[in-house]
Amino acid sequence: MLVSAVAGKRLLSAGIAKACASRGRASEGSPMVRYFAAVACIVCCLLALPRLSAQSRPAQPAVRRTAEQPAAVRGAQASPAGRSRLADEPQAGGASAGGSEATTSDEQQPDSAGAIIEMKGRPAARRAPPMTAEQEQELDTYLQQWSEASGRIFRMEGDIWKHTYDQTFETEQLSQGSFAYEQPDRGKVSLTSTRATPQMLQRRASDVAEAQQAGRSSPIKLKKNGEPYDLTDGEDEEWWCDGRRIFQLQPQKKEAYVTTIPPQMQGQNIMDSPLPFLFGMPPEKARRRFEIGFNQSKSPGPDATRLHLVIYPNLPQDAGAWHHANVMLDPKTWLPIAVQMYDPAESTVTVYRFEKLQVNQKSFIRNFWNGGKPSFEPNLAGWKVIPVGTGAPPAKEAFAGPPAQPAPAPGVPRSLQRPPPQVEAGRVPDLTGLPHKQALEILQALGLNRDEKNPKTSRVSLQPGQPAATKDAIYTVESQEPKPGTEINASTRITVRLYTDPSKETKSADRAGARVN
C-alpha cells in the first residue's frame, strides 16, 4: 500500500537509520510486487523516503498535546523497503482534496489507548472502525484489486501537495511540487514551500467566509475560534532514490542526508517498507501488518468515486512512526487521491494530495531533469553529505559523485564477481560479464532481437573483444553500447563485445557467436 515516496519509511530495519520525516535536522517527511518495489519513495521516494533520516536522531518522547479533533481528508482529482515480522508470526527460514487547499472535516477519534502497541503481538482492542463479516469480505476484494492494479504500474508521475497541520499551535505549512517513480525502486520527489503573502491570506479568509455563507465545510482548516490556521513558511525539500540509496536534500542548507538501503530491502522488497500507502499489497500481508476499516464503518456504494480507508499499524515499528492514517483511493483506477497521517501523539497531521497522475507513459512528461536524461541520483557537487545510520562513516563536505566501484579483474565473468543485473522495462540493462546467451535472452525479452540472417535489421550485433584471461570468461560480455540505463526506443541498436577464445582466430563477431550458439 506507499505514500511513496513521500509519506516515509521510518523504520526500514535496525540497519537503516531513522526516517527523513522531521522538521529539525531533516524535514518530514509499493507496486507492490513490482515497485519506490518509491517518499520520496516516493515515491521510494515516493512516499516512503522522507522518514529515513529522522530515525538517525534520538527518539523524542511522544507527549500527547491538547488539540482539536483531527480532521479527515477531502481529496483532489486525481512500495517500502524492509520486512518487519510480527512477534506472533512464525519465522520462515529462521528470519523473519477538492481545490488548491486540503479540505478537512471532523471525525470521531479512537480512544487514546489505541496508540499503545503491544510488543508481542497485535493490540487487544480493535481501533479501526468496526466491520461486519460481509464488510470484511468486501474489504478483502478491494485490497486484492488494489494490489493487482498496482502490479501493472511500471512508471508514474504527477503533482503532489503537502499540508502539515500543527494542531497545538494551530498552524499550517503548505508545499507543492512533483514526483516521478520508475520500477522497481527508483523515484524522485520535489517540494517547494509556499510562502505566505497578503494576497494568499486574503484569499484563504474569503474561501472560509464563502463556505460558511453557503453552509458547507470550509476548504481551509479552522482554529477553535473559527479563523483559518496561521500559514507559516516551511523549507523546500527533495527526496531521491536510485534503488540503492535514499537521498534527502535540504536545498536552502545544501545538505544531503544519504541512507544506504540494505541489499535484502532493495528491488521488489520495497513493498515491505513501513509505510506503503501509494500502492496496494496482497490482502494477507496487508491484514497482517495493518488493521483496516471503512471510514465510519460505511461500505462504498457501487457508484462510489472514492474508497476511504482508515488504517492502524499492528507493528511496534510502524506505531512508533505514525498513529493512524486515512487513505483515499479512486476505485476505478486504484490510484491514490490523498493520504492523511497522524503522528504518534496525534498533534501533527500531514496530508498528501496527488493530482494529474500519469501512468505507464513511454517517458516522463514533466521536465524533472531540466532537459537532461532521467537520473535518480542527484548531483551533490558542493553539498555537505551526511550519511545516515549506525556505524556510518564520517560525513564529507563535498560529494563529487557515486562511490567508485572496484575495477573488475580482466576476463572474469560477472557471475564470479557481483550479482546479476536488475532489468528495467524500457531501459538498456548492464550486460557486462554475463554469458552471451544470457545477455541475448535478456535483450530479446526487452524486444531487442538478434537476426543473424539480416544484420542490417538486427537490433543486436555481436563483436569480438579482447582475448579472455580465463576459460570461464570466454564469450562473456566485455563491453556494450549504448551504456546501461539508456532509454530503449524504436531505433535502439545494441552492440555487444565478447571476450574471445585466445586459442582460436575470430574472423567476425557473429561467427564467434555462432560457434557457441
Q: How many domains does the chain have?
A: 2
Name the amino acid, one letter, at 189.
V
Residue 217 lies in a domain: no
Higher pLDDT residue, 512 or 29?
Answer: 512
* Predicted confidence (pLDDT) at residue 471 exceeds the cutoff of 90: no
| Same-domain pairing of 296 and 238 | yes
Residue with cell 527523513: 20
| Same-domain pairing of 310 and 375 | yes
Q: Provide the sign of the torsion angle of the four alpha carbons 391, 394, 396, 400, taken in this order.
A: negative
Q: How many residues does the chain have?
A: 517
pLDDT reported for residue 513: 52
Q: Provide the sign of the torsion angle of the four alpha carbons 130, 133, 134, 138, taken in this order.
A: positive
Residue 71 lies in a domain: no
pLDDT reported for residue 171: 95
| Same-domain pairing of 354 and 251 | yes
Residue 226 lies in a domain: no
Instruction: Tell me the pLDDT band of 304, cut-offs 50, 70 and 90.
Output: very high
Residue ranges of E strands in 67-146: 71-74, 103-106
pLDDT reported for residue 172: 95
Separation of alpha carbons 306 and 75, rounded Å? 9
Neighbouring C-beta atoms of residue 113, cutoff 10 Å: 10
Instruction: Quote the DSSP letter at residue 265.
Output: G
Give the SS3 label for residue 335: coil
| Same-domain pairing of 328 and 424 | no
Instruction: Quote the DSSP letter at residue 226.
Output: S
Separation of alpha carbons 338 and 3, rounded Å? 9
Q: Which of 445, 446, 504, 443 is nearest to 475 (CA)?
A: 504
* Predicted confidence (pLDDT) at residue 294 exceeds the cutoff of 90: yes
Preceding omega of 262 cis (within 30 degrees of 0): no
* Predicted confidence (pLDDT) at residue 51 exceeds the cutoff of 80: no
- State mean pLDDT over 482-498: 89
| Same-domain pairing of 4 and 137 | yes
- State mean pLDDT over 482-493: 87
| Same-domain pairing of 507 and 478 | yes
Residue 279 lies in a domain: yes
Highest mean pLDDT among 255-259, 313-317, 359-363, 509-513: 255-259
Q: Which of 127, 119, 242 is nearest to 187 (CA)?
A: 242
Asked which of 97-111, 267-281, 339-353 is least confident by mean pLDDT, the reply is 97-111
| Same-domain pairing of 135 and 260 | yes
| Single residue among 401, 423, 453 that ends a domain in this structure | 401
Residue 500 lies in a domain: yes
| Single residue among 374, 401, 428 that ends a domain in this structure | 401
Residue with cell 571476450: 499
Residue 49 lies in a domain: yes
* Predicted confidence (pLDDT) at residue 104 exceeds the cutoff of 80: no
Separation of alpha carbons 488 and 429, rounded Å? 10
Domain hosting residue 188, numbered range: 1-59+79-87+97-110+123-196+232-401
Asked which of 156-165, 258-267, 275-284, 294-303 is least confident by mean pLDDT, the reply is 275-284
* Predicted confidence (pLDDT) at residue 380 exceeds the cutoff of 80: yes
CATH code of the domain covering residue 384: 2.50.20.10
Percent of the chain with pLDDT over 90: 26
Separation of alpha carbons 460 and 440, rounded Å? 8
| Same-domain pairing of 244 and 305 | yes
Residue ranges of E strands in 297-363: 307-313, 324-329, 336-342, 348-359
Q: Which of 43, 147, 76 is nearest to 354 (CA)?
A: 76
Highest mean pLDDT among 37-41, 54-58, 402-406, 438-442: 438-442
- State mean pLDDT over 206-222: 91
Instruction: Give the chain's mean pLDDT.
Output: 71
Separation of alpha carbons 327 and 329, rounded Å? 7
Residue 224 lies in a domain: no
Q: 178-188: b or e for each residue (b if 16 or more CB lie within 10 Å)?
A: bbbbbbbbbbb
Percent of the chain with pLDDT over 70: 62
CATH code of the domain covering residue 510: 3.30.10.20
Name the amino acid, one letter, at 285.
K
Q: Provide the sign of the torsion angle of the four alpha carbons 14, 7, 275, 151, taken in this order.
A: negative
| Same-domain pairing of 392 and 454 | no
Separation of alpha carbons 105 and 393, rounded Å? 47
| Same-domain pairing of 395 and 451 | no
| Single residue among 354, 371, 401 that ends a domain in this structure | 401
pLDDT reported for residue 52: 39
pLDDT reported for residue 88: 32
Separation of alpha carbons 424 and 181, rounded Å? 12
pLDDT tens digits along 19-38? 333 333 333 333 333 333 33
Separation of alpha carbons 442 and 428, rounded Å? 10
Separation of alpha carbons 193 and 170, rounded Å? 18
pTM of the model: 0.55
Higher pLDDT residue, 14 or 141?
Answer: 141
pLDDT tens digits along 415-453? 444 455 566 667 888 888 888 888 888 887 777 888 888
| Same-domain pairing of 180 and 137 | yes
Residue with cell 482554529: 223
Helix extents (H) in 244-383: 283-289, 316-319
Whether the CB-CB separation of 295 and 129 falls below 8 Å is answered with yes
Residue 204 lies in a domain: no
| Same-domain pairing of 309 and 431 | no
- State mean pLDDT over 107-129: 50
CA 509 to chain centre: 42
